[in-house]
Amino acid sequence: MLSLKYLQENKDEAIKALKIKNFDATEIIGKIIVLDEKRKESQVKLDATLAEMNGLSKEIGMLFKSGKADEANAAKEKTGELKDSIAELTAIQNSTIQELNDLLLQIPNTPHSSVPAGKGENENVIEKTCGIIPKLHAEAIPHWELAKKYNIIDFELGNKITGAGFPLYRGKGAILQRALINFFLDENRKAGYEEVIPPLVVNEASGYGTGQLPDKEGQMYHVTEDNLYLIPTAEVPVTNIYRDVILKEEDFPVKNTAYSACFRREAGSYGKDVRGLNRLHQFDKVEIVQLQHPDKSYEALEGMVAHVEGLILKLELPYRLLRLCGGDTSFTAALTFDFEVFSAAQEKWLEVSSVSNFEAYQSNRLKLRYKGKDMKKPELAHTLNGSALALPRIVAALLENNQTPEGIRIPEALVPYTGFELID
RNA sequence: GGAGAGAUGGCAGAGUGGUCGAAUGCGGUAGUCUUGAAAACUAUUGUGCGGCAACGUACCGGGGGUUCGAAUCCCUCUCUCUCCGCCA
């Protein structure tokens, strides 16, 4: 969430920026500022009353010690009234803070000045399109048919074991998954990201920390018995490593990468978009996360975009880079770049990575801060993350684009990982 | 799953009802000394909120209670450790 301080100091700027996200914040920010005044007022009163009470309690203690029990008991009489008003003021204070917090949670992150206006995905800006879209042979088929033909992904078996959206990879299909995961992790590690293996199930506090809760509750699988959630992305456990942490300024940049299975309920999805590997309930992804000094987060974002681009290039896939418009930028992001690869048989661009700078929006909830030597108080750090990369759509494009009458060709960079050059 | 013990500042660890935001040690930072370093010595060293500041206030795992007053007593939740059981 946005910080109160930011909203107070940059009210008009925030309202203007949020219009790019098609969010009219005029009323809500006005309410917040009024509520905060109220909060301050009740705080001052409460503190004064508490101070009075503390003083009185000390006095009573001294009176008892010096044997003046009568005076002490007389003083006790006075505390009742103070107690009542403390209870009352505390209640006001708590409900005001609660109300304030609820409102703050409703405001999306302010977009970066470079985010174009727009309602939805059609208005995203194509920054560049690279690579050659292959001309497939006459018998070319989409990946879900290739998966069956070469017996590498079994959707029906996944169906039997679990349900739709939980495919079973087998043989060279399974090896290809493992190869991609290792390839991505190795490349990320070479780029300075420390590898972690996080829990795949998180508690409520972590869900709140990265913003999946409360609003996206329905998108996560919930283990009600233990009140835990299956992670929709490694971003959740990895970013929560740094919840309630105060970093030293010289710790920046903090860079982590993690492979994880990801679980998404995808409630409301249906139809041709979910065919084959295009949209799954369980899929594999390698994620990169960075924590940065506020002055350097956009530089870091650029670096992350370049890194992801390098991965796609090594896989020899045709791709394009999109700068998301206000309407398509997520609630929590300030600036997002999407990578899409072209899947030649279904003739579709498929999103394979989303690289975002969240600025201080996630940090504010996480209470992730940093402190420099000359700083009196800690400040919020900036968080960034990106997929590097999500597997299923990469696999879809690899299968479709590289199909030949002899079999499916594996890109050179992956061969050391698969141990074979052809799926046949 | 059963029985017991515990959770205090960056770390270790004292504190069992009043002046305790909390002893002490280690660590960190700054300084003195030194050619430099080490050692020694001196000072300083948590976070939130309000305040220009002085200062006030809250925080001793989370929540609730008792009390004029709670780190300290009670209830509850979570987590950790030890032993037993079960088991990858």
Q: Specify the DSSP class assigned to residue A261.
A: E
Q: What is the pLDDT of residue A287?
A: 97
Burial A403-424 (b: 16+ CB within 10 A, else e): beeebbbbbeebeebbeeeebe
Length of chain A: 424
Separation between the CA of A85 and the C1’ of B67 (whole angstroms) = 17
Q: What is the pLDDT of residue A84?
A: 87
Separation between the CA of A362 and the C1’ of B74 (whole angstroms) = 39
Separation between the CA of A396 and the C1’ of B31 (whole angstroms) = 65
Residue nearest to nucleotide B17 (CA to C1'): A61
Direct distance between the N- and C-terminal alpha carbons of chain A, in angstroms, rounded to an integer:
51
Q: What is the pLDDT of residue A328?
A: 95
Among chain A residues 115-174, those with CB within 7 Å of any atom of strand B: none
Q: What is the pLDDT of residue A297?
A: 95
Q: Strand B positions with any atom < 7 Å from protein CB?
A: 18-19, 29, 47-51, 56-58, 68-69
Q: What is the pLDDT of residue A80?
A: 84
Cα angle A60, A61, A62; round to 5:
90
Judge whether residue A205 contacts strand B, using its CB and a 7 Å cut-off: no
pLDDT tens track of chain A, all 424 residues? 899 989 998 999 999 999 999 999 999 999 999 999 999 999 999 999 999 999 888 888 888 877 787 888 888 888 888 888 888 898 888 889 989 988 999 999 999 999 999 998 999 999 999 999 999 888 899 999 999 999 999 999 999 999 989 999 999 999 999 999 999 999 999 999 999 999 999 988 898 888 888 777 788 998 887 888 999 999 999 999 999 999 988 889 999 999 999 999 987 666 666 788 999 999 999 999 999 999 999 999 999 999 999 999 999 999 999 999 999 999 999 999 999 999 999 999 999 999 999 999 999 999 999 988 778 889 999 999 999 999 999 999 999 999 999 999 999 999 999 999 999 9
DSSP codes, A155-173: HHHHHHHT-TT--EE-THH
Q: What is the pLDDT of residue A63?
A: 84
Tokens of A73: 């008991």
CB A212 within 8 A of CB A236: yes
From the list A154, A150, A181, the residue with the least C-alpha distance to A168 is: A154
Calculate the dihedral angle through the C-alpha atoms of A225, A227, A230, A232, rounding to the nearest 10 degrees.
150
Judge whether residue A83 contacts strand B, using its CB and a 7 Å cut-off: yes
Q: What is the pLDDT of residue A269?
A: 64
Judge whether residue A61 contacts strand B, using its CB and a 7 Å cut-off: yes
Judge whether residue A371 contacts strand B, using its CB and a 7 Å cut-off: yes
A352's enclosing H/E stretch is strand A348-359
Judge whether residue A376 contacts strand B, using its CB and a 7 Å cut-off: no
Separation between the CA of A241 and the C1’ of B74 (whole angstroms) = 35
Angstrom CA distances, A207 to A97, A117, A228, A329, A335, stand at: 21, 30, 9, 20, 22
Judge whether residue A245 contacts strand B, using its CB and a 7 Å cut-off: no
Judge whether residue A40 contacts strand B, using its CB and a 7 Å cut-off: yes
Helix A172-190 to helix A391-401 angle (10° resolution) is 120
Say how far apart CA A224 and CA A221 lie, in whole Å.
Answer: 9
Judge whether residue A65 contacts strand B, using its CB and a 7 Å cut-off: yes
Judge whether residue A378 contacts strand B, using its CB and a 7 Å cut-off: yes
Judge whether residue A30 contacts strand B, using its CB and a 7 Å cut-off: no
- CA of A5: nearest nucleotide by C1' is B49
Judge whether residue A373 contacts strand B, using its CB and a 7 Å cut-off: yes
Cα angle A98, A100, A103; round to 5:
110
Judge whether residue A74 contacts strand B, using its CB and a 7 Å cut-off: no
E strands, A224-315, where?
Answer: 228-230, 246-248, 254-263, 282-292
Judge whether residue A79 contacts strand B, using its CB and a 7 Å cut-off: yes
Among chain A residues 271-310, those with CB within 7 Å of any atom of strand B: none
Separation between the CA of A53 and the C1’ of B24 (whole angstroms) = 32
Judge whether residue A246 contacts strand B, using its CB and a 7 Å cut-off: yes
- ipTM for the predicted complex: 0.85
Q: What is the pLDDT of residue A270?
A: 64
Residue nearest to nucleotide B69 (CA to C1'): A57
Q: What is the pLDDT of residue A83?
A: 87
